[in-house]
Amino acid sequence: MIRPARPADIPAIYQLVRDLASYENALADVTGSEEQLRQALLAEPPAVFAHVAEHDGQVGGFALWYLSFSTWTAGHGIYLEDLYVKPELRGLGLGRALLAELARICAARGYPRLEWAVLDWNTPSRGFYASLGAAEMSEWVINRLSGPALRELAATDLS
């Protein structure tokens, strides 16, 4: 069963975020707390959204997403920040169902794009996404500004 996340799901989602980070060898990079995740998901107006996949009455996976915007299409889309299904539940169709729900939201709202990033070494996920018809955008390189570089740029005197 795929459904929008509820406040009671936030502890499970936060644990899945940590599980995902561990899988990606990046657990030390998780600096946000469960309470911060709660505040983000319950903000008014919301800027980030989550759907969960239930299996046997328990949260077995999640998709966390937000609206993107394309100047080329002059319209919104969905950017999937994270998708994760517990390893023991993979192969049951939960990941596909989560992505299908986001695709339905795009279609219903007239959004032309559903996009996400995947680590280059994550061959199983890349194969799964390709099986759905997703196209890798190899000509695009993700950039990130954070930490001291972000603070340095923010402190730039614009006068």
Q: Report how far residue 155's alpha carbon sits from residue 141's, in angstroms, rounded to the nearest whole number.
A: 26
Q: Report how far residue 92's alpha carbon sits from residue 127's, in angstroms, rounded to the nearest whole number.
A: 16
Tell me whether residue 111 is one of the annotated catalytic residues: no
Map the chain to HEC letters. CEEECCHHHHHHHHHHHHHHHHHCCCHHHCCCCHHHHHHHHCCCCCCCEEEEEEECCEEEEEEEEEEEEECCCCEEEEEEEEEEECHHHCCCCHHHHHHHHHHHHHHHHCCCCEEECCCCCCHHHHHHHHHCCCCCCCCCCCCCCCHHHHHHHHCCCCC
Cross-strand partners of 55: 58
- Active-site residue numbers? 129
